[in-house]
Amino acid sequence: MKQKSISIEYKSLQLEELSQEDRDLILKAEEIRDKAYAVYSDFYVGAALLLSSGDIVLGNNQENIAFPSSLCAERVAIFYCKANYPESKIKKIAITAKSIKEAYDEVVTPCGSCRQVISEYERNQKSPIEIILKGENEVLVFKSINDLLPLSFETIVLGHS
Ligand code: THU
């Protein structure tokens, strides 16, 4: 038996330490977050993608009375992006959340399904997608989705890297 381990690196920053580009992207994520359709959870999430073309694509969570029909902000943004800009490369994604019911100042980390979706597009485009998670008191920056979804399905089973 071999004991193995995986470690990931990510940055914790204050907003002022980020580049203007990243702060602008976060601002867009916050603006779109507040337009989410989150009538069941009262948990508002916004995602802003920066494409290598410079275009910005936004998404927010869209809920439904048939709960599993709902979709997270990240996938709303990414699927719209890939539907409308299929050749585009995604450089960065900024994600932020707000709860109406109770104070929420943590970063929101993408769910497993969103990580899986981001992971496939990152693999397809052959360049990393930076993940920027904005909380009230800190911003976490991950260089690649691999840091949030190591040992992802396609890497292991299909032999892609
Ligand atoms: N949600 C997102 O949009 N993104 C995440 O990363 C986590 C969760 C949404 C789904 C649902 O509409 C609400 O937040 C509460 O889970």
pLDDT of residue 105: 81
Protein residue closest via CA to atom 4 of ligand 1? 72
- Whether 74 sits among the annotated catalytic residues: the reply is yes
73 CA from centroid of ligand 1 (Å): 7
In which band, very low, low, confident or very high, does the pLDDT at 102 lie, cut at 50, 70 and 90?
A: confident
Pocket test for ligand 1, best of 41, 64, 75 (most atoms within 8 A of CB): 41
Q: Is the pLDDT of residue 161 over 60?
A: no
In which band, very low, low, confident or very high, does the pLDDT at 18 lie, cut at 50, 70 and 90?
A: very high
Which residue in the list 63, 74, 120, 138 is annotated as catalytic? 74
- 44-47 — which CB contacts under 8 Å span 24+ positions? 44/97, 44/98, 44/99, 44/100, 45/72, 45/73, 45/74, 45/95, 45/96, 45/97, 45/108, 46/73, 46/95, 46/96, 46/97, 47/73, 47/74, 47/76, 47/77, 47/78, 47/93, 47/94, 47/95
Q: Is 125 in the pocket of ligand 1 (CB under 6 A)?
A: no
What is the arithmetic mean of pLDDT over 109-115?
A: 98
Report all structural domains of the chain as residue ranges with CATH numbers, in order of start.
Answer: 11-147 (3.40.140.10)
1 CA from centroid of ligand 1 (Å): 39
What is the arithmetic mean of pLDDT over 22-48?
A: 98
- The per-residue pLDDT of the chain, averaged, comes to 94
